[in-house]
Amino acid sequence: MITIQLNNVTKSYSGPDWEHDVQAGQGLFSHRQKAMPEPLDRDLALDNVTLTIHRGETVSVIGPSGCGKSTLLRIIAGLMQPTSGEVLYDGRPVSEVPVDKRGIGIVFQDCCLIPHLESYDNIGFFDIVHRTQHKIPARIEHIAEVMNVEIKYLLRRKPPQLSGGERQRVAIAHCLARDPKLFLFDEPLSNVDAKLRVSIRSNIKRLLDYYHITSVYVTHDQMEAIALSERIIVMNAGRIEQTGPYHRLYDAPANAFVAGFLGNPPMNLFEGYFREQSWHGKSFTIESLPHRLGEEKEILLGIRPEHIQIEMGGFPATVEGIDKHFSERAQVLHLRLNETFLAARTGIDLSVHPGETLPIRFPNEHLAFFDQTSGKRLGVRSIEGQ
C-alpha cells in the first residue's frame, strides 16, 4: 500500500506532450477501440489538481463525461505525464519509480486482456513473465475465495469466448495476481448489464475490504461510488470541485455544480435575486428569509426534491409527469410552477396524477443559496472542499 500525492498537476491538450501520450497510449493498448480521450472545448484536461490519497484508502472519482476523470487516473498510473506539477508515490516522484516497481493493477472499461491467451495465462501473466508459474494455481484459488466467485470454469477460455461480466472478473483476477500496491479502476462496469453490475460491484467491494489496497475508482455511477469508497472526489472541467464522504457532499455542497450534479434527481436550482430579506425568482418569491446575502445580488436558490413539501397554502404547481421508484417506496413528481420546472420526491403512497395541481412549499431550513456568477455557496462559514 502506498500514499499518492498530486501537487498542482496540470495537463494541457495542446503541444507535443499530449501527442506523445496519445501515441504511447495507442501503442500500449493497441487492441482498445479508444485508447486516449479526445480533446474537448477547453485548453486543459487537468487544471491545477492537488490531491492526497492516503495509504489503504479507496476513493471514487465522479463527474460528467469529459471532466478529466480518466486523464487523472492515467497520470496517477504514470501512463501520461503532467504538463506541470508532480505526482508522488510515498513522497517519491513517480517518474523516478521504475515501471515494474510501481505495483499498479489497472482494470479498464474494456478489460485490456490479451486476446489470444486463455484466462489461466491472462491471470498468471505476471508469474509467466517472472518465471514463477508454479504460483499460479494457488493465486487463482486464493483470488476465487476472496472474491467469492467461481472462476475455474473460465480458465481455458480466451477473452472473445467470455461474456462482459466474465471478462471483467478475469481482468480483476489478472490485476490481483500482480500483488498490487495501488489498484486503479477506469469505469470497469460501464459495459456490464445492470444485474451483473451489482454482483461484480459486490465482488470488488469484498476484495477491497480484504486487501485494503490504496485504490482509485473512476465511475459515472454515483451508486457505485457510494458503495465502494470512503471518500468521493467530484470533478468538473479538469478541476476538483469538492471531496469528502458522499453524505457531506450531498448535504453541504460547496457550489452549484456539486449541488446540481449529486443526487437522482439532483438539487433544484432557480435563478433570482435577493432584496429586503426576500428571494425573488421568475415564478415565485420567498419572503422573510433569515439571511444576509447582499441586496440586488443575483443568487441561485436550491432545494433537494425530497425537501419540497406538499402543504395547503403553498405555491400551486402542476404535475407534468411521475417516475415511480417501487423498490425505494418513492416517486419523483415533475412539476411546473408558472414558467419554472422542478422535481419533488414523495412517498409512493401519495395518490397523484398528471395534470393535477398540488400546493408546494419550500421550508427555509432546507434552502441553499449560491452566487449566480461564481457558483460558490453563500450563507455558510465553512464547507469542506470549498
Q: What is the pLDDT of residues 334-361, one digit of tens each?
A: 999 999 999 999 999 999 999 999 999 9
Q: Which of 249, 275, 306 is the last residue of a domain?
A: 249
Q: Which of 226, 249, 272 is the last residue of a domain?
A: 249
- 109 within domain boundaries: yes
pLDDT, mean of residues 160-189: 81
- List alpha helices for the chain, DSSP H: 16-28, 69-77, 119-123, 125-129, 136-147, 164-176, 194-211, 222-228, 246-251, 256-261
- Going by DSSP bridges, is the β-strand pair 84-89/4-12 parallel, antiparallel, or unpaired? antiparallel
- Per the model's pLDDT, the better-predicted residue between 100 and 3 turns out to be 3
CATH number reported for the structural domain that contains residue 156 in this entry: 3.40.50.300
- 384 within domain boundaries: no
Give residue 157's pLDDT band: very low, low, confident or very high (50, 70, 90): confident
Residue 252 has pLDDT above 60, yes or no: yes
Distance separating alpha carbons of residues 144 and 163, to the nearest angstrom: 18
Residue 379 has pLDDT above 80, yes or no: no
59 and 163 assigned to the same domain: yes
- Per the model's pLDDT, the better-predicted residue between 102 and 361 turns out to be 361
pLDDT, mean of residues 76-81: 89
Between 5-9, 116-120, 235-239, 363-367, the lowest mean confidence (pLDDT) is in 116-120
Residue 160 has pLDDT above 60, yes or no: yes
149 and 211 assigned to the same domain: yes
The half-sphere exposure of 30 on its side-chain side, counting CA atoms within 13 A, is 3
The domain tally of the chain equals 2
13 and 158 assigned to the same domain: yes
95 and 193 assigned to the same domain: yes
pTM: 0.84
CATH number reported for the structural domain that contains residue 350 in this entry: 2.40.50.140
Residue 132 has pLDDT above 70, yes or no: yes
260 and 245 assigned to the same domain: no
- 385 within domain boundaries: no
Distance separating alpha carbons of residues 4 and 337, to the nearest angstrom: 48
Domain hosting residue 298, numbered range:
256-378
- pLDDT, the chain, mean: 84
User: Coil, helix or strand for 364?
Assistant: helix
- 297 within domain boundaries: yes
